[in-house]
Amino acid sequence: MILETLLLLLPLACKGTTAAAATDDAQSGSAAVVAVPMKQSSYGPVFNLTVGTPPQPLTVLSDWTWMSFFTRSAYCDGSYNVSNCIPAGQGWFDDHASSTFQNSTSYAPTGWANTAFLPGEDFNVTYASDVVCLEASSDAAAGDSSQSCTPATVFQLSDFDVALTSALPFAGIFGLSPVLPGSNASFYPASYQAYLNDTLAGALVGYHSCANLASSSSCAGGDMLTVFGGTANSSVFDPSSVAYLDVETEPCITISAPLDFRPARDNFWSLRWTGFWIGDQAVDLNISSSSSSSSKSTSSSSPACTDSSPLAVLDEGSEGVGAPVPSSAYDALVAAANATVAANQSVALNTGNQTYYTVPCAAISTLPTLTYELGAAQNYTIAPAQYVVSVPPTTTTTTTDGTAPTNTCYLNAKTWALGPDAPAAFFGSTFFGNLYVVFDFEGLRVGLAPLNQQLFS
C-alpha cells in the first residue's frame, strides 16, 4: 500500500497558532511530514533514525515521558573508552566520527537520580548538537522518501559514572515530552526542534497502534505508526471527531513513581482524570482524602497538589501497559469480573504490583466495561476484550484427563495507589489501543479520536 494513501502529509498547527483545518498542499519548501513505523519491544516502541555526518544509523526508543533526544556514547567512568563503555551488541553514537558534531557549552551537564533507565546510578548526560534525520523506512514508505534532517539539533550524550556491562536493544531515547513555557532547548524534543527549524511542516505528532486492528497496513507494516509534523488522514480516523484536552501540570506529579527522579521536572502529557466507572459503579478518585498504600509519605518539602483529582500521564512504554485502576477499586473489579486468583503469579502482564486474577475465557464478553472521564469533559472506554489477556499454555502436554491445555485469560489491570503521596497514573497502550492520539506541541493539548471501525475488520 502506498504510504501517501494513509497519511495526510501536512501540518495541523503552525508556529504560535493552532490551525483548525489543513489542505493537501500545505507542505512546502524543505518542511516534511515523516511517518515512521515502529516495532514493539519489551521497553516500548523502537524505530530507526540517523545522527551525524556521515549519517550513523541508530535504533532508538520512543518515550513520551522523556524530555529530549538522548544517545549512548563511549563516555563513561571519566573518559572516552569504547571497549570499556560499550558492551558487545550495544548500539551507540560515535561523536568522534561525525564532522558536524559540536559540544554544547550553553547547557550544563545534568545527572538524574532514580530513573528507570539507570536504576541505582545517576543518569548523567552532557549536551551536544549534530544533524538528526527522521526518515520513513523503505518498507514503510513504499517509494516515498519523506525525510526531515535538522542541523545543530541539541541532544543528550551519555556520560555515566559507571561502565555498563549489558547491552540494551536501543542506542538512544527519543523523548517527546511537551515543551512548557520558559523551557530552553535542552528540553526540546528533536522533532520539535525540527519544526522550529522548518524541516518538519507542523507542530503536531500523531500516533496509533495496530495491535488491535485487523492488519498492520495502516501502520505501514509496523506495530504502530508515529507521524512527525502532522497526522494520519481520514482513512485512519475522522479529524472532526478529535476531542482536545489541555495539558495540566503540577509540581506534585514528581512525587509519583516512576516520575520521582531528581532533579524533578513536570513536563508530561498529563490530563486531569476526573471520573472512573466499573460498569455502572462509580469509583471515588479524590486523592486529597484517599488513603494511599504507597511506601512514600508526603513531607513539608513535598509539593502539594492543588486539585483533588489525579493526573493521567500518557505513556506508550512498558509503564503504561494494563488498564489503569486505583488500588482501592481493584477488589471491586475482581468481584465484578467474578475472577479468581491466578495459579501463575509470575506471568509478566505489566509492571504493576498487584495479585493477578483469571476469568473464564468464554465469559469475557460478560465482564464490565471500564469508563474513564478526562478533563471533566470526555469519556473513554476500555472493553473487556482490551483488558483481558489470553495467555497460551507453556506446555503442549495433555492433562491427566487427556484434554489438550488451553489458554488462560488474565485481568490485565495495573493498580495505582492514588492518594496525596501518589497523584498520578500512567495511561498507556491498553487505554489508547483503539484511539488516535495527537500531541499538539504549540497548543499544549492532547487530541483523542476513535480509530475508524473498518480498520478492525
User: What Å distances lie between residue 319 and 85, 188, 219, 322, 404, CA to CA?
Assistant: 27, 23, 22, 8, 34
SS3 133: strand
Q: Do 314 and 269 form a contact (C-beta atoms < 8 A)?
A: yes
CA geometry: angle at 18 spanning 17 and 23, to 5°?
A: 110
| DSSP SS3 for 59 | strand
Which is catalytic among the residues 63, 122, 130, 421?
A: 63
Q: Which residues pair with 61 in a beta bridge?
A: 46, 173
Hey, what's the cell of 408? 488462560
Nearest to 431 by CA among 96, 110, 64, 130: 64
Choice among 130, 159, 315, 440 that is catalytic = 315
315 has catalytic annotation: yes
**Secondary structure in 3-state letters for 297-356:** CCCCCCCCCCCCCCEEEECCCHHHCCEEEEHHHHHHHHHHCCCEECCCCCCCCCCCCCCC
DSSP for 72-101 reads --SEETTEE-HHHHS-TT-----GGG-TT-
Amino acid at 91: G
Contact 256, 32 (CB under 8 A): no
Backbone φ and ψ of 33, nearest 5°: -115, 125
Is-contact 375 348, C-beta < 8 A?
no
Q: Are 138 and 399 in contact (CB under 8 A)?
A: no
Q: Give the number of other Cβ atoms within 10 Å of residue 121's Cβ.
A: 15
CA 376, 381, 382 angle in degrees (round to 5)?
140
Three cell numbers, residue 455: 480498520
Cell of 197: 527549524
Query: What DSSP element (H or E) covers 336?
Result: helix 330-336
CA atoms within 13 A on the CB side of 15: 11
Q: What is the CA radius of gyration of the chain?
A: 22
User: At 237, which amino acid appears?
Assistant: F
Contact of 382 with 431, CB cutoff 8 Å: yes
Total residues found in the chain within this entry: 457
Of 127, 85, 80, 78, nearest to 102 by C-alpha is 127
Q: Is 440 a catalytic site residue?
A: no
Please identify every residue annotated as catalytic: 63, 315
